[in-house]
Structure 1
């Protein structure tokens, strides 16, 4: 087996690690989230494996997929480290500011803060779904939010909260550390919504929709407040460094 390390986006919004290939068998060696140390919960039980064999043709089809919501279209990233320089305060604050701006002022209303608000309203329309469709909607959104589906809603906020806490040490800004800890709390709230989606996938009970919608509105409000405070702190920090 020839070993390589790459980061591919084989289908909309989902990244995997391709760590090797075998020309004789015509397969790629792929690592995904269902590792033996972190099995994924599904309606049919737990799934765990250390790697998958994906044929060249399957990968070609997936990479060229035009499926919504985020078509892969053979996208890939390249990195040029020619002008690499170490971490500094301006770099960190600028990066955090960019994230805040992207979340608070997304290019499309489906994304960022607006996407969370839109989802809180759209889910109420699911009352028209019959039971099977309701359960499918529940499990689909469970995997989009839960860590079982990848870096979903909760784990994203946990990762970013830990990043902010670490960044605060380098910046020596205690207020950013506080916001980082609040993001960790927010991550638990996202996980709670994911749990409700799991319950919906098991029961198909429309009574859960109002509860999920209210929790999602709360997530939107909390996240808007945290991102706004974070952007303000970064703006103050950048002014102080000028």
Structure 2
């Protein structure tokens, strides 16, 4: 079956992170040509850190360097007054029928999927992670045309393959989650500026004022304290696997890590231009510094995981580096909180 999809109107966006890329591409499709990945990430208050106590994923600590899946798209659209449609399904057949209708109408849609069965992913990147995002923008016979932002080029999946990843099982099961902009009004520069300011203030709150000890900048300290204990508590092999899990969540899975700190720095540079406030440029450099520190910590953690570093001293050095990262990020967000943006 051939479906007329108007695919020539959709343009693939290659991005550092899947949800940022999906948000950017879908909004650009609807005429918001100003949208960039850093702007979507910042307006959506995407920067975060959390280690969820007593929860493991893939036999390692449950850590995320970003906000909850779906929040970036939702918040960015809300800030710009864009009405969206979001649906989940219990029946794969109904999910496919709904998808086909939108594709037949020429509407690209975002889908949440699991990566374990994504056939175009290299095998080493296929593990049980159900919060990946991609765009379905067309169909040719049994092949759905896929724009996956972390891929350089568009690709495709069969109907069976797409259904399988849309209904992957496990934590954060997507349940056929589909979403797309429904209506876009007039977007003024003033609306963009208000969205930027709101995004910054919400991110400040989430990183330095969130209650508890395992989220925001305090969550980084929580992980640091755990790392000091892992070698004696878990044994060297399991402790190395736990550190390997952090590296994977930081550098390979769509949770961001150091890359998200670079992205937030880029957002603040764009925000400085929109708000005509050069103070944001100086603060952006602190997030770039944080990103460099996260990358350096990942190299050291990988050394433990691969068995090159085995002494308690290495665990202590990693823990100390995380405390330094916490200090840099806390200071940067405190500076943002004192700017009185928009006044």
- TM-score, normalised to structure 1, is 0.74
Cα separation, 2, equivalents of 1:189 and 1:82: 39
- Equivalent residues in 2 for 1:54-133, closer than 5 Å: 55-62=161-168, 65-67=169-171, 72=174, 75-88=177-190, 89-106=193-210, 109-127=213-231, 128-133=233-238
Greater helix content = 1
1:1-242 to 2 correspondences below 5 Å: 5-11=108-114, 14-19=131-136, 29=146, 31=148, 33=150, 35=151, 51=155, 53=157, 55-62=161-168, 65-67=169-171, 72=174, 75-88=177-190, 89-106=193-210, 109-127=213-231, 128-146=233-251, 148-150=252-254, 152-203=256-307, 205-207=310-312, 208-233=314-339, 236-238=340-342, 240=343
- Partner SS for 2:338: helix
Offset of residue 25 of structure 1:
5.2
Instruction: Give yes or no for contact 1:117–1:217 (8 Å, CA) kept in 2.
Output: yes
Gaps of 5+ in 2: 8-102, 115-128
Deviation at 1:14, TM superposition (A): 3.6
**Contact 1:26-1:56 at 8 Å conserved across structures:** no
Report if aligned partners of 2:243, 2:304 keep a CA contact under 8 Å in 1. yes
Shift of 1:227: 0.6
The CA deviation string for residues 152-209 of structure 1, in whole angstroms up to 9 with x for no partner, is 2111011110110111012111111110122112111111111112212211625321
Structure 2: distance between partners of 1:214 and 1:76: 42
CA offsets, 1:133-160, max 9 Å, x none? 23322322111112x3345211101111
Q: Which runs of 5+ in 1 are unaligned?
A: 38-48
TM-score, length basis structure 2: 0.55
Superposed CA RMSD in Å reads: 3.1
Alignment check: 8 A CA contact 2:148 2:154 kept: yes
User: Whose RCO is larger (CA < 8 A, sep 6+)?
Assistant: 2
What is the number of equivalent residue pairs in this alignment? Answer: 219
